[in-house]
Structures are given as structure tokens and as C-alpha cells.
Amino acid sequence: MSWIPHNGKPSHCTLSNSGASPRDFRFAVKVCLEILDLCRKISKPRYPLIAEGRRGQKIGGFILLAAGGLMAIPFGVLPFNNFLPGLAILFYCIGELEDDGLMYLIAFFWLIITVIYFTAFFFALWYFGEKALGYFGEKALAFFNIL
């Protein structure tokens, strides 16, 4: 590996000495261009009041900030905890390609769905946790003769 320091001297990593062949780079660039072409087919300039100018920057910043904040919440047991905010970021980025306000709205929709999903999870956790503590708490106190 060329980026690992050798004899205490840091070496410089460049694309030419990274170990990947030119064929690998051509393949990676081809795949990236196909994905970008697909995104450009989906996106076109719609709803310019939402996506263009200073207002579009503020809306986009809010979407990225909110989705990033929701992704940062550590839920190991909750399915789709990073998938739903990731959809918001994906649709925002697709909308950013062509100033597509509709994609911004779809991204905002996924943010709302994510907040509803997390709220329902926390409510269920609180509700069933309280019921479990009420049920098992009395039995545990009675078992240890505390009551």
C-alpha cells in the first residue's frame, strides 16, 4: 500500500499508485456516469420557486440538516432508521441536479415520514415500557416482599 508510511516518512497517495488498474477506473467512471444519466432523466426543472435562488439554498440546507440530524440518532434496533432520512437526502440531491422543486418536495415528504415513524416508535416504546413496568414492577416488589 502506497499510503502507509514507510520508514517513518509519510508517502503520498495518488491515483497512479493506488493499486487500481486503468480498466477499474474506466469501469467506475462508466457506472457513475450511468447513474448520473438516470438521475438526469428523472429530474427536470419544475417548481422553480422552491429550488432556485436563495430560497432553494435555504430549503436544501434545511433538508440536509434535518435528515443528517435524524440519521445521527443512534437506533440500533429500529429498522429503517437511516434509510428514510437517506431517501430525503437522495431526492434532494437529485433535485439539485436540475433545480427540480418536485424532488425537493419529495425529499421533504420523506422527512415528514421519518419524523412520524420515529415519533410512533418513541410513543410505542414509552407506552409499552410503562405497561411492562407496571405489570412486572408490582410482581417484582411482591416477590421481594417490599409491598
* Per-residue pLDDT in tens (0 to 9) along the chain, 147 residues: 455 555 555 556 565 666 677 788 889 899 989 988 888 888 888 888 888 889 889 999 999 999 999 988 887 778 888 899 999 999 999 988 888 899 999 999 999 999 999 999 989 988 988 888 777 777 776 777 665
Q: Report whether 84 contacts 113 (CB < 8 A).
A: yes
Q: Report whether 71 contacts 128 (CB < 8 A).
A: no
Q: Which residue has the cell 411492562?
A: 132
Q: What is the pTM of this model?
A: 0.71
Q: How many residues does the chain have?
A: 147
